[in-house]
Every structure is written in structure tokens, then in C-alpha cells.
Amino acid sequence: MQRRSHAALVLLTLAAGAMDAVAFLGLGGVFTANMTGNLILFALAGREEWVLHALRSGLACVGFSAGLLIGFTMPGRHGGSALWPPAVIRLLWADLALQIALLAGWALSGGAPGPAVILALIGAGSCAMGMQAAAARRVDLAGITATFVTGTLTSLFETSGSGWSTDNRRRAAVIVALVLGALCASLLLRFAPPWAAAIAPAFTLLALAVAHPYGFRRRPDGRNGRESRG
């Protein structure tokens, strides 16, 4: 079960890397998942067109916070041995819906949205990533967030002295996944811009396909309705 859960988190992290690449390169130089970066960008008062960049960065922070609030207040807590309770699955479907909305806006604008559309897409993307971060936290596997990796990288080196444990392999995998997701999206932005925003929802849909069996089918004895061999 944990291997399947980790695979789903890796896929979500690929989606986050792709989403951040599209946002930074195609939506005015902001992040939808990396709020540390946005807070710094918000404070760079000396940069050209700072007010516009501050507006976009601030909107991303607000959207991400809204996603977190929705994610952590959605009813349905972790129960029994289930790693993916119903609330997490619902969060990921909502996350996917916002990503598809972003994809639609991006495609309709031909991969070159105007200023007003950019703001709408930043709001949708950052809220989606906030929901995704909340979903990953509610799963709580090796401290993996599936949106940003600063804490994951810190944990990796903090525990590296105890050897290359299973948790450290998981942490390393999501760090690589974030980079690969951003690489895929950035290449598509260069060679096929209208398709760049499709990568994140594709990976999120794959993550749902992997995670969906867990957490909401239970037998009368309270055990999971499906037994995992992974």
C-alpha cells in the first residue's frame, strides 16, 4: 500500500513541477506551488514593474492559502489503516478540476494569455496546488508535500547519516520528480506551447488512478475492502 501511495505522491509532484514551470515562464514569472519564492518576489520592490509582479505573486499566495484552507477544513479525517481517505480523493478531484480550468484558459488563449486571463489562471493554479499540498499532508508519508521540496530536501539530509532508508529514497524520488515535471513543461512551452498546461492534469489524473482504491472501501470488520500487496 505504501509503495502505491508513494507512486501517487511522485506523480503529484511531477504535476506540481509542471505547473510551476508553466506559471513562471507563461504567467508572468510567479510560482503556483512554491510560496517561499512568491513571498520573495513580492518583496523585490526595486525590480521593473514591481507593482504588477507583486500583484501576481500576492494573488498566488492568496490562492494557495485558500486551497490549503479548503483542504484542511474538508470533513473526513484519516481513519483506520487507510492512507487515502475519501476527503483526500475529493481534494484531488477538486485539484484536477482547477487544473483543467487552467488548461482550458491556456488553450483558448493559444498559450499566450492576456493580463486579465493571467490573473485568473494564477488564481486557479495556486488554489489547486494548495489543495494538493493539503491532500499530501493528510496522507502524511515521510513528510512529502507533493508541491514544494525545501522541507523534503532538509529531511533527506537530516536523516542521511542513518543510511539510505526507504523514507530517504522516497524523498529523493519526489525531489527528482519536481525537476522532471518542470523540465517536461518547459520543453513543451518552447516547442508546443498550447500543450504545456496539459502535463499537470495528466499527471494528477494518473495519481488519482493509482490512489483511488485506497481509503473508502471498508468491510464490516473495519479493515480495508482491498488488500494491498505493494
In tens, the pLDDT along 150-184 reads 777 777 777 666 666 777 788 888 899 999 999 99
Task: Kindly report the pTM of this predicted structure.
Answer: 0.84
- pLDDT at residue 75 in the model: 80
105-113, Cβ contacts within 8 angstroms, sequence gap of 24 or more: 106/22, 106/26, 106/194, 106/196, 106/197, 107/194, 107/197, 110/193, 110/194, 111/26, 111/189, 111/193, 111/194, 111/196, 111/197, 112/26, 112/193, 113/26, 113/27
- pLDDT at residue 81 in the model: 39
- pLDDT at residue 229 in the model: 34
CATH 1.20.1250 fits 2-211, yes or no: yes
Q: Which residue numbers in the chain have pLDDT < 70?
A: 1, 76-83, 142, 159-164, 213-230
- pLDDT at residue 1 in the model: 65
